[in-house]
A and B are shown apart, each in its own frame.
Chain A
């Protein structure tokens, strides 16, 4: 079995930055990522796409180039195309098209990033409905722009994806924005923060300007969103300004914020708490990224939503802090080198309340109507979950065994937060009393054949 000082899960900004810092400090680093190339979702495929269609994706995307170049280091082994399906005391079980294997590590850093907050609205399971982030991934990875799309929801990413599609020659039909007028007013009241966030606000206004100049309509303060179609989505229906409206489209792209992807940290046994701000569970860690599980660390958006720059900085901080804990770096050096990063990271994080106020999640998707599917895998509606609670289910795992919600292949990644909110609402319990879905290995599918092959490999290679 290959042994490393540090195994990092996720090659996004946090993972890449941590790998570089740790390697520079002398650690032998494994960087494990499911994708064929480093970058994570935010910088997906940046090493390739920067040359060909970097212009359409914009300057912020190109900030990923030096990070990707940074992991080209003799002390870093990049396990690309490898998913992690189990994490146990100092060992990671990996799977790839070439089979399963185990690696050992003195420390594990989980830099698993964010996922788009699932947006359960009527019709969201129809083909042709995707995350706005999913459309962006297709643009970054395959150079494919979704045509004739309506973007639905709230958040800076909604505007960014609209602009990127526009630049790619696939102008969206319209934006259907669920933020209410009071959300903008609340954000305006935070004027001190707005002054500090000047760079982001400027960029955001430039995006909106570009959309306006191109004549892309924006429908504001929308509610009652429903996605309609027989076999696939062909219409987005919503009400705005007291009027019911329908837009025809070939695709509906949903987005209302991002949440930490915590499947790996859950599987590693890290305690999680519910965050009202993020409206999701987050792993508990200290400001270095150290969790309560010995030698398991978290960094980046997988720990706390802060955006790409904050993720990169928290990766650097965790990388050097791990080097310190393993005895590669003395405390004074760690503290001297991380102080600037910590200051900048905390500045980035201090701006988040502005985004949370200006772009809150779509309220109706946080408390879906009875007929809306919440568990996509097992086709369980919000109404069935509510009925289970009325029938006596007391916690989230009780709901799971009585309805199968959260029992499907995604292991609750898409429905856990929705289930938690519904159970709390219906049972008058507190969110920390209802439990969380367990994440048990394999957290990604692995075949029995791959498992059998792994055993042989472990027997055959004792020495390295």
Chain B
């Protein structure tokens, strides 16, 4: 995976825990903001958009925009509002629809 955002960390390394992202193991700082931790780990494909099917990444980091949406243990959640826990099963939120809604 191509590295995404480059982030410089000012904090001493927190203890890392293992999570699954799209079936692959990742080590993230326990208790950290999930969206920020994933960005720092080089992830920049979060939710997939309904029509174009392209990846979005966190935009607002404060629970407004829903672009950081992930399936966290099977439930769609704004990852910027979630804290890292060991063993989380994370997947990009898929919202692919048969579109467009031309008939409406």
Taking Cβ atoms with an 8 Å cutoff, the residues of A that contact B are: 34, 36, 41, 52-53, 56, 83, 97, 115-116, 125, 127-131, 133-134, 137-139, 141-148, 168-170, 231-232, 250-251, 261, 376-379, 401-402, 404, 408-410, 413-414, 444-445, 447
In this assembly, does B27 line the interface, its C-beta being within 8 Å of a C-beta of chain A? no
- Contact partners of B83 in chain A: CB under 8 A: 36
A114 to chain B, nearest CB (A): 10
B8 touching A145 by the CB < 8 A rule?
yes
B60 touching A147 by the CB < 8 A rule?
no
Given A36-B83, A53-B10, A127–B63 Cβ distance below 8 Å? no
* Docked complex Cα distance between A209 and B62 (Å): 30
Cβ-neighbour of A144 out of B7, B45, B54, B63 (below 8 A)? B7
Given A53-B10, A131-B60, A232-B4, A141–B81 Cβ distance below 8 Å? no
Q: Mind listing 21 A-B residue pairs with CB under 8 Å?
A: A83-B63, A125-B56, A128-B5, A130-B58, A130-B59, A130-B60, A131-B61, A134-B58, A134-B60, A134-B62, A137-B62, A138-B33, A143-B9, A146-B7, A231-B55, A232-B4, A232-B57, A376-B56, A376-B65, A410-B65, A444-B63
Cβ-neighbour of A232 out of B44, B67, B69, B77 (below 8 A)? B44
* Docked complex Cα distance between A125 and B6 (Å): 18
Q: Which residue among B2, B10, B32, B37 has the maximum number of chain A CB atoms within 10 Å of its CB?
A: B10
Given A127-B45, A141-B33, A250-B6, A53–B60 Cβ distance below 8 Å? no
Return the chain B residue nearest A261 by Cβ. B64
* Docked complex Cα distance between A178 and B50 (Å): 32
B7 touching A131 by the CB < 8 A rule?
no
A445 touching B65 by the CB < 8 A rule?
no
A409 touching B50 by the CB < 8 A rule?
no
- Contact partners of B44 in chain A: CB under 8 A: 127-128, 232
B8 touching A144 by the CB < 8 A rule?
yes
Taking Cβ atoms with an 8 Å cutoff, the residues of B that contact A are: 2, 4-11, 32-33, 36-37, 39-40, 44-46, 49-52, 54-67, 69, 75-77, 81-83, 101, 104
* Docked complex Cα distance between A147 and B104 (Å): 44
- Contact partners of A145 in chain B: CB under 8 A: 7-10
B5 touching A413 by the CB < 8 A rule?
no
A229 to chain B, nearest CB (A): 11
Return the chain A residue nearest B85 by Cβ. A97
* Docked complex Cα distance between A444 and B76 (Å): 12
* Docked complex Cα distance between A378 and B8 (Å): 33
- Contact partners of A130 in chain B: CB under 8 A: 57-61
A173 to chain B, nearest CB (A): 12
Cβ-neighbour of A128 out of B4, B11, B62, B69 (below 8 A)? B4
B93 to chain A, nearest CB (A): 9
- Contact partners of A401 in chain B: CB under 8 A: 104
- Contact partners of A146 in chain B: CB under 8 A: 5-7
- Contact partners of B32 in chain A: CB under 8 A: 142
Return the chain B residue nearest A125 by Cβ. B56
Cβ-neighbour of A41 out of B33, B56, B62 (below 8 A)? B62
- Contact partners of B64 in chain A: CB under 8 A: 115, 261, 410, 413-414
* Docked complex Cα distance between A129 and B55 (Å): 12
Return the chain A residue nearest B29 by Cβ. A142
Cβ-neighbour of B11 out of A52, A97, A232, A404 (below 8 A)? A52
Given A56-B10, A146-B5, A409-B66, A116–B60 Cβ distance below 8 Å? yes
Q: A128-B5, A144-B8, A378-B50 are in contact. List 20 more A-B contacts (CB 8 A).
A: A36-B83, A116-B60, A127-B4, A127-B55, A127-B56, A127-B57, A130-B60, A131-B59, A133-B60, A134-B60, A141-B36, A142-B33, A145-B8, A145-B9, A168-B10, A231-B2, A232-B44, A376-B56, A376-B59, A378-B51
- Contact partners of A444 in chain B: CB under 8 A: 63
- Contact partners of A128 in chain B: CB under 8 A: 4-5, 44, 57
- Contact partners of B45 in chain A: CB under 8 A: 127
Q: Which 4 pairs across A and B sit closest by C-beta, in order of nearness?
A: A127-B57, A143-B11, A134-B61, A143-B10
B59 touching A129 by the CB < 8 A rule?
yes
Return the chain A residue nearest B82 by Cβ. A97
